[in-house]
Structures are given as structure tokens and as C-alpha cells.
Structure 1
């Protein structure tokens, strides 16, 4: 396939019709497409793929938004050549789309057609969008995906084939190298031969199934084997009866011995937990006492913490007081100085700032006017120059327009002379399709006649084999039904007996479980009654002690109230004398320790010093008495609290025990009601004896059931064997029926299709004869060639006329635009000059006004300096005022806080000493050495409950273990057996059973085999000879098929092998190109799974996965692979691929690497294969001799333009 030309109109950035001549571009074998970003370079590749396949890869849904925004329709026409049967043929594919009325982005197909260009003219091949796409795919043998991976590589898609997974790459290679049909034809031919031989082998094998082992030696051996089997059967039956009774007794004892060992293991594990349970009981008792001390300990720690915190706060306050007073005096002095200075300076600075701001406004207006004046001057000069150029351009365009009008009239007359009647052309094309249809129908008839003969032979063979298979199935079915009836009857009886035994065993087990639970319930009830008696005595003692403690607390509380009233009265009298002592110490100018004032106008009056001394002594005595009374009150309250908690705990424990006793009583009655009516009122010993009696009866029935099950198993084995034989026979019958059905259906289809094909062929021949007579022509193909020549000339003239008409419209539009632009430029020149004179006058007036306001000073610096000074005054005064207010508040607060903290410290010290004494006594009374030991003894409620449940479970488990040991010992009745003894007896019995079954089966087989061989010996000899001959032929055919399907066992393995070999060749060619581009730094190879890997020769030849390559490495590898692949592609297996396009990717290469790539491309490009590159890299443009320059759309609405440039 070789591109000839491409016409684009209305596609993306292309607005007007543009034509690209690939014959001129490809003269040297290598050309480039260059232009800035967004100019429309990639649109050229979009146009090729749209012309061939009807969509654009980059567009949504393939077609949305691809029409130029200034156009309603879009047209693309692509002309290319293909080599078919050694003859080069030229085709043109053309597509026209238009925007839908209700959407600017959605497009609709207006025209699509594919034509073959011959010397006789254009021959239309199809004229529908879908048909055009399918026909193009058929012609070139590539779909759109393969085309954009191997021939035209769009932006960001050059690496797709390199990174494609194995299965996708294999399918692509099958398509582009046309391997499917070759593999299918070869496989079908082989399968037909195999089916024929296999049919023969199946027939012989089916007959031989009834004659196996029928030779003379086999007949003699069968008779001897039958006699030996009879003797061995009698011997095995005798041994089996002797061992059966011994085995049943040993089995019972062994099961009981294993059960006893399990109980002993449980008993050992239970004994190992005894110490752990005892420790748990001790921990529970300590935890119950520790709970009573939790609250006193918490209260003591809280008092200690409060005292520590109060002491720390008091120390901090006393250290802070003198520092705050000194800082307060310093800031008062600084604040007064600043306030006086601001009152003098601030009015003068504000007036100066106002004058400067007026001058600054005038300065900005002068600068703005100067810039505008300069712009107007420059613009006026440019407009004068443009005015002269526009006048010259208008004259040139008018002369060219006149020449084009004359040429257009000449071409129109010549074109009208070559127009062909469309109706006549259509009728001739219809006649050509009749000839093609006749050739196809004749070929179809021949194929169907051959297939019908093969199917008839297959039907005859299958019917013979079906008759033999059905006779064998009838005999086997009768025997299987008899065995099934016997097995069903036996299974029903055994099932009823098994269900009855299991039901009784489960009921007995449930009764034993209920009995154990009842015994445990009774033991637990006795424990609870004893515990309730102990708790009742403890509650009575605690209530008596509580009454005594209540009386002591009331007396201590009355004493405390009396002491407090006397102390408050005495302290009020003493406070009056304290004020006088403080007033005597005051000095004028020093601050008062109470109010902080430095002036003292009304100090307190005098007091009697002797009376003050008496009051102070009395206060000390009352405080001592109050402390003693409060101490006695706290001790009484602590003891009363401990007693109350102990009493509440005892009452709670009593209620819990009572509730549990009631629950145990109810549960005991509920368990008794679960027993059968006959066992509810029995004593424990009598109940146990009754249960043992029921167990012995149940064991007897189990033995009888086991004997019946063994007999049933033997019967089922015989039935299963017969069913397997019957299933194989039916499977063979089903296969023959399926084969018959398929062959009959296929034969009917072939015969019907053959008859229809004959009718169609005869009708077609008659139509062709009438067509030639009606139109009076000797040959349809010759007439088509004549019409094509006329069409070719008319089309060439039409294109020339369209081009000239388009140029006329462009010239006319351009002349009008130039005249309008000339008039606008003249008006703009006049406007610029007037505005410049006005600006110059305004500038001079403003400069005079600025000098009057500020003289020579810098305006901005002066305004900034004044603003900073005013802000500094305001900020500093506010900060000093805030600081003074804060310091005065802090000083007063510190004095008040000091007095409060002193009082709190004294009270907390007394309370802590008394509380520690009471706590120590309580710890000693309950046996604890300290608070830490109490905390360690505490347990979470969940853990306490868990320990209680665990202890209860431990005791119940012990009871159950004893009960199980007694039950097993009674059953054993002093019997025992070792594991070695049991294994010896069990093995001997199993061997006897196996020997008995084997000998019986061997005897039956020997009898049957002897009778069968005797009847079939002669027929076996004849069939075996025929089978050997067919087997040798089948072996040769199977060897051929194995070679075709390969090791993987797939139908397409031979095709895979050819595709892999082609891929290896492509990889080798790509590696040569890659080595040349990279100076043999890299090589491309295939791994074990036929995936691509890179060998990095610069790093010691290590292998790298292709997905680890950098951008530039990936581009070079993909380019080499795509070039090698395009070189190997033969379109439809006939036409070589003669061009290759690559869009972008060169920007990832450095300069040296880019030079290597261009050198390699120049070497491998040639006239037989054209390589086209799209890029915006400047270095690449300078190296390529043939260049297509793409210029972007202009602001005035003109679309993308193209031109060819030669170096």
C-alpha cells in the first residue's frame, strides 16, 4: 500500500480545501511534517484513518467535534495504490460528513464511497459508510487498531505494540500475516482423514469388546483358574467363620478400654488444677475485704494532694508581690512623659501630611499622561507606514482576479463535454455484479456435492454400530434391575432398624446427662444453705456494733458545735485589737498592706493591750479543744462508715445466696420433669441399675444391625459393577445416536443448499444473456473500462474548476477586506495626533502646581516618615496604658490570694494528720500492711464472676469424672485388652473378610470368563487382524496432528508456531535498527514467553523489562519494532506495505541520539518504502530533504495551510 494524495476540507483546524501530494514528498524515501503546536500536523494522520475507517481516534465516539467550528460540512479524500496479483491498482476513498441541526458536536454521514481508478475511468466499489469501511479492511487486510499500531502511529500511541500483552499481540500477528485460513484448511483436511479411520477403529473396537481374551491359551488358563478359584473360596469361608465371634468380643472390650483411658486423662488434668482453684478462693476472700477500704484510701490521698497544691501556690504568690510593685511605679512615670510630648507634635505633622498628599496625586497624573503620549506617537508612525502598504496590495489583488475569471470559463466548457449519464453507469455496474455472482454460485455447487457423498458413507457405518450396541444394553439392563430390587428392599429394612437404635441411644444418653445434673444441683443447694447461716450471724453482730458507734458520733458532733460558737465570738473581739496594731505601723508614703493606698487619713483607734493578751490565750485554748472534738468526730464517722459498708456487703451476699438457692431449687424440679414418667421417682442407685439394663439391650441390637449392613454392602458392590458396565454401553449408544443425528441434519442441509445453488446459477446465466442483448454490448468489463476513462478526465477537470472558483471567492473577499482596513487606518491617524497635543498641554500645568506645594522635596518619603511617626505615638501610648492597668490589677489580686492561701494551708494540715491515723488503724484491723497491698488485692467484677464460675465448673467436672469411671468399670467387669492384642485380632479379621470377598469374586469372574472365552474365540481372531491394520494407519495420522497442535495441545498451536517465528524475525530486524540508532548499546530480544525484553549491552548485557524503560528508550525501541513490522507486512499476503508514519516522540531524545536516529532512518528508507515523521523539533527539520510545512490558522478565520519545501 502506497499513499498518492490526500485532500482535507473542514476537518478540525483545516477550513479550506488543502491537497497533500505524497508522491512528491516521498521522492527521497524520507520526509517530515513540521509546524508549531496546534497547527494541525496530527490532523493529517486523523484524515487518513478517517478516510479509510470512518472515525478519528482522538475524538469522542470517533466523530464528535471533528468538524471545523466555521464549517457545516467536512470532506476527506485519500488516494492510494495496492499491488494485487502482481498488478498495481489505484483506489480513492472519499467521505463527507455534516453537523446535525440540533448539535454542533454530533456529525452525520452525508457521503461515503470507494472507487477503483483505472485507465478506462473510475469504477465505484461501494457507496455506504459501513460497506466502505469493510471493503477497505478487506483490501488492505488490516483493521483500524492494527493500522494505527503498525502503519500510522498517532500521538502517544507509538509504544502500544511494544507493551501489548502476549495474547493480543498473537491475535494481531495472525491477522496481519493471514495465518488463520492456512491453519484451518490444513487442520480440516487432516481431521477428515482421522475421522474416517477413527470410525473404522470404533466399529472394530465395539465388536472386539465382546471377544477379549479368546485365544487357545486363554481358554485353557480360564478353565484352570475356575477350578483353583472354587477351592480357594471354600477355604476362605471356613477361616472367616472362626474369626468373626472372636473379633466382635475384642471390639467391645477395646472400645471400653479407650473410653477409660480418656476418663483417666481428664482426671489427671482435673487434679492438676486443684492448687490453682485453692489460690483463686483465697484471692476472692482478700478482694471482698479490700473493697471496704477503697473509699478511705481515696479520701486520704485527696487531702494530701490538696495540701501540696496549696503550699506551692502560697510560695509563688509571696515571691511575686515585691516584683510587681516595682514594675508598677516605673511604668507610671514613663506614661506621663509620652503623653505630654504627643500633645505638642501631633497637630504640626497632620497639616504637613495633607499638603504632601495633594502633590502626590498631581505627580501620578503627569506620569500617566507621559506614557499615553509616547504610545500615541509610536502608533501614528506605524499607521502611516501601513497605509502605503495597503494601497499597493489592493492593486495586485485586482489584477490577479481578472486572470482567474478567464481560466474558469474555459475549464467549465471542457468538463461539461465529459459528463457520463448516471443511469447508464448504474446499469453497467449491475451487470458486472451478475458476472461475479455466477462464478461464486458455480464454485459453491461443486463443494456441496463432494460433502454430500462423504456424509452418506458415514451414515451407513453408524447405523450398523447402533444395532449391535442396543442388543448388549438390553441384556445388561435386565440383570441390573433384578439386583436393584433386592438392594432397595434390604436397605429399607436396615434403615428403619438403624433409626430406631440411634433414637433409643440418644434418649439413654440424655437421661444419663439429666441424672448427673440433678446430683450436682443437690450438692450446690447444701453449700448455699450453710453459707446463708454464717452470713445471718455476721449481720446480727454488725447491727449491734452500729448502734454503739452511732451514739458516740452524736456526742462528738455536739461538742464540736459548742467549741465553734465560743471560738467565733472570741475571734471577733480579737480582730478589733489587731486593726489598732496594724495602724501603729503605717507611715506616710508607704502602701497599706490591706488596701494598697499611700495615704492614711483615718487609722484605727487604740485598744487595751492586757485585754488583747487574755483573748489570744482564750482563742488558743478553744482551738485546741475544737481540734480534739473534730478528731473524735472523724474517728467516729470513719468507724461508722466502715461498719455500714461491711453490713451492706453482708446483706448483699445473703440476698445473692438466697436468690441462687431458689434458682437451684427451680432448676432441680425442671430437670426431674425431663426424665421419663417411669424413672422420675426412683432413687439414684435404682435409677443407675435400670440404665445399665437398657444399655445391654441396645448393644445386642447394634451387633445384629452390623451383620445386616455387611451383607448389604456386598449386594451394592455387585449392583454398582453392573451399572458401570451398563453406563459404558449407553454412553457408546449415545455417541452413535449423536453422530447419526448430526450427519443426517448436515446431509439434509447440504442437499437443500445444493438444489438452491443450482437454481440460482441457472437464473444468473439467463440474466447475463438478456443484459448483453438489451444494451448491445459484447463485454460488460470492456464497457466499464471505457466509462472509467471518461470519468477520470471529467473528475480531473472538476477538481481544477473547483480550485479556480475557490481562488476567485478568496480574491474577492480579500480585496473587500483590504479596502475596509485602509479607510479605518486613515481615521485612526487623525485621532492620534489630536489626542497627543491635548496631553502635552495638561502635563505642563500639573508640574507648575507641584512646585508650588512642596518645592524640591521627595513626596513619597516625606509622607511615609510622617505616617510612621504618628502611628508610633498612638501605639506606644496605648501599650503603656494597658500595661499600667494590668499591673495594678495583678498587685491587688496577689495580696488577696496570699491571705486566703494561709488559712487553707492550716486547715488542710490538721485534717490530713487525723485522717492518716484513722486509715492506719483500719488497715491493721483488716490484715493489710498498706494501701498498695489493698490495691493489689482488688479484682474487677468480671474477674470475680469468672473465678466463681470457674470454681463451680471445677467441682461439677470432678463429679462427672467419678460417675464416668464407675460406669465403664461396671461394663468391663475385669476384662481388658492391649492395643497390640486388639490390632492383631482386628487385622486378622479384616484379612479374613477381604480374603472371603476376594475369593468369591474371583470364583464368579473365573466361571464367567471361561464361558465367554469359549463362545467368542473364533470371532476374536478375525477382528483383531483388521484392528491392527487400522491402528497402524491411525498412529501415523495422530503423529501428524500432534505436530500441528504442538506441546500446548491447542488447535491453533501450528499457527502460533508460525506467528512466533515471524515475531522472532521481526524482533531480530528491529534489534538491528535499534543497535544502529543507539550505537549498539541496546538489543531487542524475546523471552521464554515470547514477550519483548531489552538487553542492555552498556551494563554488562543485563536484561530489562520493556515497562522499565525511560521515555526516550521506549520511543527508540517502539520505533525500531514498528519499522521492522511494517517492512514484513504483506497486505492480504500480496501487496507490500510501502509507507510508514510516526507522530511525535523525538522530543524525548538528546541531540547526539537524534542524529543517530535520523542517520538510521535515512539508510533504511528507500523509494519502495516511504517513511513520514511528524515533529516540532528544529534539529529534525534541518536534517530532512523533503518537508511538508503546516501553518496554523490565522486570527482572521483562515484555516490551516500546507506547502512542500525541498532542501
Structure 2
């Protein structure tokens, strides 16, 4: 980063705007910032840090607003710088403002481009994140890089090992390798020990598990499996015997059953023989019975057709008489009466609608007039403009709300008198303690004379407070007036709306024209019209129904005549068929045929019953012949019971043996699984013990922050190597620096003395300064390496006050060698000798009673 321009105001002792043009200061590579102690030199660095990070590192207060100058309400910083960002050189400008009230900040980040300034970010959070990405360093690292306190590094060169390691750890944030790492190692050790104990505890339930136990279980299982096979063979033999005897028993039972069926067939054999002789005659008798049934049904159908014909003729005669009566109704006259009544109803409805609309409009008009009168009463006598003018005039009489303008107007030099009084009291206190300081008496008398008159500041403060309270009260009244004004404007709009609504209703009421109604009731006319319509519809429908009914009855009469003819023909045919079937069966009447069928049943059913008898008789005889050739002597109930009892015993024995084998098999499986798990847990316990041992060794290795010290020593080696190169450059190749670690610390070698090394305690003041400067630059470079941002400028803050004139020349010659095109050095000091050696410089003057700190460029 290379600073270009810095503008600020209101920070610490700077109450007026200050501008620093770094582009001019950095022309020769070295510039100085000089001023008395407390003049505000370090405030310049504070402003750069505040612009970049929004914080002032030196401030002990947590509130940034405490850094605002007491005479200012706000402070601002505008900082422009050049930096390599995203692979190219770019120029950015930061504008940050801080207000005393609530310590609120506003910030914008611009980038300078060919067209001008381009806004890149806005807002505190967004801008701070963007700036940290640009700079690449946190605030503490940035300040370590650009501000090198020489006195601290001179002490660092001669410090003890512990002090050196502490400083390096702080500069490079190595605390994470110290106590934090030790705590983590202790925690890891405790966790590993707990894991080891847990693994051992998990092994305890498997103490009895072993390979020998599993071998015994396998032997027992083999014996049980042999017994299981023997029982299985015995069971199969018992099942086969039980199956054979059961079959013989079932065939013996079948033989007995067939003999019973044969006996029952013999009982009905004579009946079946008689039925076989009458079967032909029975079938003809059944045909005669069927013909008789057909004749009876045809006779009934003929009678029903005759009755239907008579009833249809009577209904047709009645329908023709009803049609004659309906033909006398006049449809045209009914239509004319309906039309006239409809016209009267339309006129009556129009008249009633106009009357109802007039009543509604009159009611709305009266309501609108009442609402207008009620609304007009609400703000009667109110004038918004007059009340506002009165409040603003009373506010103007109170004057400005700025306390300092009030004091300037009322007190003039009251503030200065107050300061004189305070200073006179302090001089008097000093004189009372040191009476010998008689030269203070004229000053005491001088300042007491200036503040003899009462300043009246307390009374002025009270008056200002009273005015502030009155101003706040009037402001509150103005706010309330604005609210009331809004309501008043809404009131006027409502009045206008009500007036327009009343005018519209009145005009609409006047536009209504009286109707031509004759005073008849629309509802009564509607009822008459509905009755007339129903009567007309009824007559039309009745006439239509009567026509359809006559046509339908005529068709029904014709169908009844045809049905009667058909039924008569069918009756004659049925009687002829009955006579023929009786003669064929040799029967004289239908009653004889019915008696024969009742005795033997239906002919078809009788033949089927005879066929079933013959089939069953043949089947029973054939099966009995087959069974007569088989040996069924063992097919007894006693033999079957004994076979089943033996089968039950074999099943029980096999079940018990199989269950014992299954239990033994499951026990062996569980034993083998437990053995595998035990071996896995033993392996896990072994690993846990190994981890616990390693964690314990690591814990002991890291005790006492030894690892942080080791890392810090490595950093010191790198820093010393880098610083040695810078020291060789500063001393024209004479001195080099080496870090030997331990209590030896830094040693310096002299190439003009054969490379002989000596301790840093033997160095002169100028040599110590050069070694300190080399270390400071090296440390700063190491810090910047972490952000991948090169150092382009830095400040040497103090450390020059103890140098004599000769050492000042040596230091300046060394700094001249350091400067370059891309590397600038700023010296912050109050040493006069340095001021004359540096061409480009800033002179910072202390703040006084009349003005703040000031910067003069030379």
C-alpha cells in the first residue's frame, strides 16, 4: 500500500480540517513528522487506521465517539491510497464520518477510474469487509507493519529468551500453539484414556468365552444330530405302517357300507320292476295331463279377453263424451283476456317502482343533510394556518438551539473568564504549597482581576435548559398540530363529498316523472293473471289429453278384439289335443291320467329314478366283488389304534431330539459370534491402549508451552536470517546477525574482524539501533507475507531521542540506503537534529486555547 492523500477533522486534538499530501512527502523516499510530545503526531497514524478499519487502536474506550474533539459534533477522515489488488495497481478513496450522537458511522469506498470516482461499497459492515479484503491484513497486523516502535525492538535485541519468545508469539499470534494446544492435548489424552478404559470394560462380559467351550459344543451337537437321524428313520417307518393299516381299515368300512346299500336296494327292487312295466303308459298319461292343463289355461285366457273388450268399449264411450264437452271452450277469448290483464299489470308495477325509488331518494337526501350538519360542527372555529404561524413565531423568539451560539450571544467572553478563574485557582494552590515561588503572585493577581466579575455561566446554562424545554414543548405542539391538520384536511374532503352527494340525490329526485298507473294493486293483478294462465293451461292440457285418450282407447279396442279371436282359436286347439292324448293312453278322462301320474310321478322323473336304481345296483355289486378278493384281516380298529400310538411316540422322540439339536446349534452359533466379537474388542482395546500411550507422550511433550517456544524459535531463525541480510546492506557488508537459540539469543558477526561473533550486549548505541531496525523491518516483512501484500511504506515511531549527533548521521545514512522507488520511510520524532537532515517533513503544532492541533508541510 502507498498513501496518496489524507484529510481529517475532529479527531483527538485536531478541531480544524487537516490535509496531508503524501504524494509530495514520498518524493525523496524519506519524510519526517516532527512535533512536541502530545502535539498529535501519532494521531496521523490513528486516522489512517480509523479510515481503513473504523477503529482507533490507541483508544482505551470501547466507544469510538470518545475520540471526537470536545468542540466538534462529528469527525471525518478521507484517505486515498494506491495498492496492488487483483493483479493490478488501483487507487481507492475512503470517506468515513463519525457523529458524536450515538457514535454512528457512515462510510463509502470509491475507486478512482478514468471517468472519476466509482462507488465500490457503502455501509459500515460491507465497507469494512471490502477494505480488509483489499488491504489483506487485520488492524493489529497492519499497525505492526507500518508503525515500528524502535524502543521496543532495541529492548527486544537484549531481552531474555522468555521475553523474546513472548514478543514473537504476540506479533505472530502463536498463542494457539501454547496454552490452547496444551489444553487440547490434555483433553485428547483424557479422552484416549477414557476410551481405553471403556474398551477394557466392554471385554469383561466375554471373560468366559473361549475356543475350548465352542469345541465341546460342537461335539455335543454331533451326538445330537446322530440321534436325530435315528429318530427320523423310526418315524418314517411308523408313518408308513400307520398309512397301510389306515388304508385297510377304510376299505373294511367301505365293504360294510356297501353291504348295507345292497340290502336297501333289494327292498325296493319289486317296486322298480312294476315301474318298469308301466313306464310307457305313464309317459302318455303325463302328456294327457299337460294337454288338459293347456285347455284349462286357454279357456281362462278367452274369458279374460272377452272381459277386456267389454271394459275398453265402455271407457271409449266415456272419453268421447268428455271430448265433446271440452270442444265448447273458446281459446281465442281466453288469450285476449290474458293480454289485457298483462298490460294492466305492467303499468301497475312501473307505478309502484317509481314510488319506492322516490321514497329511497328522499330518505338518502335527508341522511346526507344530517351527516353534513354533523361533520360541519367538528372543526368549527379551527384555523390551521393561524395556529401554525403562532407556534413558529414563539419558536423563533427562543433563538437557535446551538449551545455555543447561545453562549456567544449571551455570554461573549464568559467561557474565557471561566478558564481564567480555573487557572488562577491552580496557581494559588501551587503558591500555597511552594511559598518560595513569589514570581507566581503577579500572574495570580492578573488572572484574578480578569475573572473578578461573576461569569454567570451557571445562570446561562439554566436559561438555555429552560429554553430547550420550551422548544421541545413547542415542537411537540407542532407535531400534534400537523396531526390535527391532517384530520382537518380529511374533514374538508368529507364535507365536499357529502355536499356533492346531496346535490346528486336532489337532482335525481327532481328527474323522476309521475307514472300513468290507475291505482290498481300489482300483487292483486299478478294473482288474477296467474289464475287465468293456470285455467288456460289446464283447459289446453285437458283437451289434448282427451284426444290422446280417445285415440289410445280405439287402438286398445282393436287389440282386444284381435286377442279375443286368438284366445278362442287356442281354446278349440287345446280341446282337440286333450282328446287325442287320452285316446292314445287308453284313458277315458283327464282324471284317470292325473291319478296315474300322482301314483308314479312325472314320467320323465320316474324314468330317471329307475335309471339311477339300475346304475347304483350295478356299481354296488361290482365294488363288493372287488373287495371280496382282498385280505382285510388287519383292517381292524384295534390294529389302527396301535399303529397311531406307535407313530405318536416316534414323533415325540424325534421332536425332542430335533429341539435339543437346534438349541445346541444356536448355542454354538452364539458362542462363535461371541468369540469373534471378543477378538474384535481385544483388537480395539489394543489400539485404544496404543492411542492412550501416544496421547500421554504428546501431552508430556507439549507441557510448559514447549511447542509454542519451538515455533517461535523457528520464526526467530527466519527473522534473524532476513534481518542479517538487511544489516549487511545497512553496514556495507560489515555486520551480520545470527540467532543461536536458547539463552545465547542474538549474536552479531563482524566481517572486518574475520567474521568473529560477539553478543549484542557489546554493541554501541548506533550498532544497537541498526540491529534493532533490521529486526523490526524483518518482523514487519514476515507479518506482511501472510497477506501476500508487499511493504511500501512504514513509520519509525521514536527511538531517536537517545542518539548523539554522530549516531544520528549513521542512522540517516542507513535509512538512505533503505529507501527506494517502491519503499518509503516516515520518521516520527521530536529530535531537532533529525529535522534538519530531512528535506520533506510535517510540523505538528500543539493545540491551544484558541485552536486545535495544526499541521505545517515544509
Q: TM-score range by the shorter chain?
A: 0.3 to 0.5
The structure whose Rg is larger is: 2
TM-score of the aligned structures, taking structure 2 as reference length: 0.35
TM-score under structure 1 length normalisation: 0.26
